[in-house]
Amino acid sequence: MMNEVPFAAFRASMTKNETSVDMTQVVGSNDILFVCLDTLRYDAAVEEEKNGGTPVLNRYGLWEKRQAPGNFTYPSHHAIFAGFLPGKEEAKNIAQQEMLFFPKNSGMGKNAPKGAYGFSSSNLVQGLHNDGYDTWCVGGVTFFDKRSDIGNVFPSFFEKSYWNPSFSCSVKESVNNQVDFIIKKLEQNTDDRKIFLYLNVCAIHYPNYFYLDNNKNDSIESHKAALRYVDTQLGRLFDCWKEKRGKTFVVCFSDHGTCYGEDGYIFHAVNHPVVNTVPYKHFFIE
C-alpha cells in the first residue's frame, strides 16, 4: 500500500500542470508547424543567438535549454510524434514536463493537463488529422526519405509526405529547395482545412563542412555556419506562411545534438551532454 500512494500522487500531479499555451484553443483554429532543426546543438544555437547569427529565429524569443527525447533521429521522433517534445531541463520526472500534446493511452491517465491537446490515436499527427487537419511532411534525413521500409515509417503518419534527393543532407542548398517546394505547395493549395506541417531540416546534420569555405571536415564551426544558413531560409518560410495562411503556431526544436570529438565522442546515437541537450522554442507567427 505504501507504494501506491506516491504513484497516485504522481499521476494526479500530471493533470494539475498547466501549459504555457492553451492548445485546446490553438487546435482547430490555427495552422501548426513543427520545424525540426535536425541535430542542432544547444550550445551552438545559443552562441549564434547571442552573436546575431540567427536574426530570424531571434525574432521569436530565446532558446530554451531542453532534454532531447532520444539520442538520434529515429527514437527521438517516435517520442515527439507521440507527444513527448524535448523536455524542460529542470524537470526531474515526466509530471514536471510541459505536455502540449498529451497521449491519453500512454499510462499517464486519460485526463490531459489543463491547456494540453489530448489525443487517443497512435500519434499526434493522426490525432490532428482526425480533428480535421491536412497533415504534411517535408523530409530531410534518411528516416524521412521513403526509399526504404524504415524511411517510410514516419512519412506514413501523414496524409501527404514529400521527399526528393534535393532535400537531402549532402545537398548544400537543401533548405532552399525545401522552402521553395513548400511555398509552391501553399500557392497551389485549395484545401480549406487547417494544415499541420512537419519540416525536417537536415542541413545541420552531417555532412556540413561545405558551409565554410575551404573546409574539408565537419566541425562545431561548420555546424554553426549551417545554422546561419538555415536561418536565412526560415524567414522566407515564415513570411509566406503568414501571408498565405495567417496566424500559425510554430514549435521549433532540435531532436538531438551531436559531438565533434568531445571526450572522444563522435557524432550522435551515443549519450553525451551535447547530444542529450537541445534548443527549443514555440511561438506564434501572425
CB atoms near residue 42 (< 10 Å): 23
Domain map (residue ranges) of the chain: 20-285
User: What CATH number does the domain located at 20-285 have?
Assistant: 3.40.720.10
The dihedral of CA 174, 179, 184, 190: what is its sign? positive
Residue 54 C-alpha cell reads as 540567427
pTM comes to 0.93
Return averaged pLDDT per consecutive 10 residues of the chain, 286 residues in all.
50 66 95 98 98 98 96 96 92 82 78 89 96 97 96 97 97 97 96 97 96 92 98 97 95 97 91 96 96
Q: Is the separation of the CB atoms in 132 and 147 below 8 Å? A: no
- Cα–Cα distance, 176 to 174 (Å, whole number): 6
Q: What is the pLDDT of residue 5?
A: 45
In this prediction, residue 2 carries a pLDDT of 45
Nearest to 89 by CA among 244, 279, 222: 279
Which residue has cell 520545424? Answer: 35
CA 117 to chain centroid, in Å, comes to 17
Which residues touch 247 (CB under 8 Å, ≥6 apart)?
30, 31, 284, 285, 286
How far is Cα 85 from Cα 91, in angstroms, rounded to an integer? 13
Query: Which pLDDT does position 3 carry in this prediction?
Result: 52
pLDDT given at position 214 = 86
